[in-house]
Chain A
Amino acid sequence: MKWFTAWRRRPWAGYAVVLVALATIGVVYAGFSPRTAQATDSSASADDLAHGKQLFNQNCASCHGPNAEGTRDAKGNAIAPSLIGVGAAAVNFQVSTGRMPAMNPGAEMPRKTPVPVFNPDTIQVQYPPNATEEQKKALRQAAVDKNLNDIQAYVESLGNGPSVPSADQVAPANDKVGLGGTLFRTNCAQCHNFAGQGGALTYGKYAPPLLQSTPTQIYEAMITGPEAMPVFNDTTITPEQKRAIIAYIVQTRSEANPGGNGLGRIGPVAEGLAGWLVGIGLLVLAAMWITAKKPKKLKKQHD
């Protein structure tokens, strides 16, 4: 062990040990930390990345900058944020809900029909001759999935972030819907309303309704925190609890209103409006009708 004793007395030995220790801890942490499973192909080929970059340049670079570093206006206010490190899940959420590419940047990016390259209904695909409707649909879906995967892979290649959850991860935990409801009321309802109808936020922003969001999009929103939404990471709300919340949302929006028309499920404001307009309105009409009626006997005397 003589060489070791000699080696460790060298002036740079201390630094080397620190470096080695840091590297070891880093590698061990990376090995043990709960990585969300990779749905996208992690070994994206160079071709895919190039295709992703091409899509990025066509659809995103005008605001987010050619290297996704974000852009600022003359006063230094951000026009579009940097996308380095946002991860695949953020890209998937923003693009699949149609929020990105943004058409009309404002306080809130609304959900809208995705642009054709990311839209299974409108994407242009070369169909083989005599393909059936179903085959065409599958081809369009496959093309969209490829585009999404490639652009996600490209953004992911700029810096790691949360990846797109697998179908198992977002499957509604229907046996835990009670827990999901409790968590939803504590964490989500204050902005999205008790039935996921959405609500107003400050400065023209709003929490969108959750009526069209797919389980994947709901999950992605929780882990990436789009726009004003906070990030609910896996320590705040565990993956299992996220599935319970998804179950609650999915069940609530498909649930019938046992009491009749739900009046938009926005609470007492709509009820008051209905009470005045329908209730008092109909009764005033009834009162006018009743008081306009003259009894025959007395009418004769008067006429």
Chain B
Amino acid sequence: MSTAELPKAVDGPLTFIDDRLGSTTFMKRNLKKVFPDHWSFMLGEIALYSFIILLLTGTFLTLWFKPSMTDVIYHGSYVKLDGVKMSEAYQSTLNITFDVRGGLLMRQIHHWAAILFMAAIMAHMLRVFFTGAYRKPRELNWLIGLGLFTLGLLEGLFGYSLPDDALSGAGLRITAGVIQSIPLVGSYIMFFLFGGEYPGQDIIPRFFTLHILLIPGIILALVTAHMMIMWHQKHTAMPSKDQAETHVVGYPFYPVFMAKTGAYFLFTFGVISLLATFAQINPIWMFGPYDPAAISAGSQPDFYMGFLEGSLRMMPNWETNLWGYTIPWNVLIPALVPLGLVMTGAGLFPFVERWVTGDQRYHHVNDRPRNAPTRTAIGMTGVVFYGVLWLAGGNDIIAYKFDVSLYATTWFFRVAIFAGPILAFIITKRICLGLQRSDAATMAHGYESGTIKMMPNGEFIEVHKEPEEEQKAVILSKEEPKPSLPARDENGIPAPATKGLLGHVRARLNRAWHIDNITVEEGHGHEAEGADRELSKGH
């Protein structure tokens, strides 16, 4: 292929470009970029491709959507709303749904893509966290990812508000309430944002600008940065036989990875289209136009805002009156504390881990989650914390569909929000250590082959086989912790890193991080059978 002469019509322009941009060397270097293969590395791509679909369908929707809160009386093709007063925004969304050719499908693709965008970001972040892929040198990309997640939340909230249906309005009302709950400045910010009293006439045009221009612009810029940094730093890889910190094992971008990722775009588009065709989403014509007096049972936000809804639902009704001003803890705490804990915790974690473990090295090979039990346990703590909040956001649906008392669910969640994460930490850590023990046993005695052998003396044993090279390499990818610093050397001088309160805390945390570690090392694999015989005699 490379030896074939290009036709002059192709060669000419290419040479022209190459002479000016030097693109050949650039392409040569980058097309050969190697990408490791693992299914979980594709999760982030779902988000990327959903975002592209969101941009395209969103553009289509702007062609007909009217971001206006002017009152109109509907006389369109959806008879059930005939003669009903509504805003122009809602009316134009009805028109997109029922009158624009393909409009409903586009709306549904847009909304399903948004759901998948956020779900994929969350799944991707969990993968990055549990494999330790955020470690040096990738902390910045982790932070950019968190920024993208936050912007995704905002973008979703704004998009959810635009059609001005009953659920949009309920979401906006909560948003306004949350802003107002901020002490001192809350009312001013609310009035500034809404252009006066809630709901006013300004909020939808303003959210429209933010939703279609500002936030997607920032997301696009951050996605670009995210991808370029990843390209520059190279993708992390799962531990395997040939994998090492010094090089990446995988397939070149061109032609293998390009084909795979291209196919994956089509898969993503396919799944979103499938959902959009067969599963109805956000039926605003049934919710009706926003009316401050109307609300429906089961009024929830989209799933990614569900954890905020849940924290609001489980919060006791606490308020304080100070010198005639009310501090509404019942709104302030649920709005800020869970989000703050999750986001701040996630943002600081790479740096805290580096400080606690004292590990300043570059990491390009991922950890297996079991080999970092403390990190995995902390991760599950966060997952359970978020999960309880998330479930609590749907407590009425849970109560109704599973026939339990609504107040019982509220109290269950109030207890679970504190007890669940603690239990999750303990259980996860024990599971990780159990898996480490199993790895250690495999290295020491080989794995159970399932073959039962009868010995000359009539004894039955199960044959244990030495693991394959690949399995061995994966198991041995576990790093044994360095012995923690002695608090004092032989002369009684405290080590510099353990001095002071901070140093003391750090030494404690360092010990806690590695506590209960099971050493996994290459054992007497060749004597597997003999060792096992001794073991089975012991039973």
**A-B interaction:** yes
Nearest CB to that of A292 among chain B residues?
B39
Query: Does A226 reach chain B (CB closer than 8 Å)?
Result: no
Q: Give the interface segment out of B144-152, B256-264, B419-427.
A: B256-264
Q: Give the interface segment out of A56-64, A131-139, A182-190.
A: A182-190
Query: Which DSSP category, helix, strand, loop or mixed, fits chain A's interface?
Result: helix
Query: Does B271 reach chain A (CB closer than 8 Å)?
Result: yes
B260 touches A272 (CB 8 A): no
Query: Does B212 reach chain A (CB closer than 8 Å)?
Result: no
A-B contacts at CB below 8 angstroms, number: 209
Interface residues of A in 260-285 (CB under 8 A from B): 260-263, 265-269, 271-276, 278-280, 282-284
Instruction: Give A268 to B299 CA distance when docked, in angstroms.
Output: 8
Interface size class of B (residues with CB under 8 A): 35 or more
B303 touches A275 (CB 8 A): yes
Instruction: Give A23 to B249 CA distance when docked, in angstroms.
Output: 100
Instruction: Give A49 to B124 CA distance when docked, in angstroms.
Output: 72
Query: Which DSSP category, helix, strand, loop or mixed, fits chain B's interface?
Result: helix
A267 touches B298 (CB 8 A): yes
A203's contact among B39, B84, B407, by CB below 8 Å, is which? B407
A272 touches B84 (CB 8 A): no
Interface size class of A (residues with CB under 8 A): 35 or more
Question: Per-residue 0/1 for B267-287: is the Cβ within 8 Å of any A Cβ (1 yes, 0 no)?
Answer: 110011011111111110011
User: Distance (Å) between the CB of B63 and the closest chain A CB?
Assistant: 20
Task: Kindly list chain B residues whose C-beta atoms are within 8 Å of the C-beta of A272.
Answer: 115, 302-303, 306
Given contacts A260-B278, A274-B275, is CB(A283)–CB(B283) below 8 Å? no
Question: Per-residue 0/1 for B379-409: is the Cβ within 8 Å of any A Cβ (1 yes, 0 no)?
Answer: 0000000000000001111011000111110
B275 touches A275 (CB 8 A): yes
Instruction: Give A254 to B37 CA distance when docked, in angstroms.
Output: 50
B299 touches A280 (CB 8 A): no
Query: Does B294 reach chain A (CB closer than 8 Å)?
Result: yes
A207 touches B297 (CB 8 A): yes
Task: Kindly list chain B residues whose C-beta atoms are within 8 Å of the C-beta of A195.
Answer: 286
Instruction: Give A133 to B300 CA distance when docked, in angstroms.
Output: 49
Residues on B facing A (Cβ under 8 Å): 37-43, 46, 74, 79-84, 97-98, 104, 108, 111-112, 115-116, 119-120, 123, 166-167, 251, 256, 260, 263-264, 267-268, 271-272, 274-283, 286-288, 291, 293-303, 306, 394-397, 399-400, 404-408
Pick 26 A–B contacts, CB within 8 A, sort by A: A177-B79, A177-B80, A182-B288, A189-B294, A195-B286, A198-B297, A200-B396, A202-B406, A252-B80, A257-B283, A260-B278, A266-B397, A267-B167, A268-B167, A269-B394, A271-B111, A271-B281, A272-B306, A275-B112, A275-B119, A276-B119, A278-B279, A279-B272, A283-B46, A287-B39, A290-B39
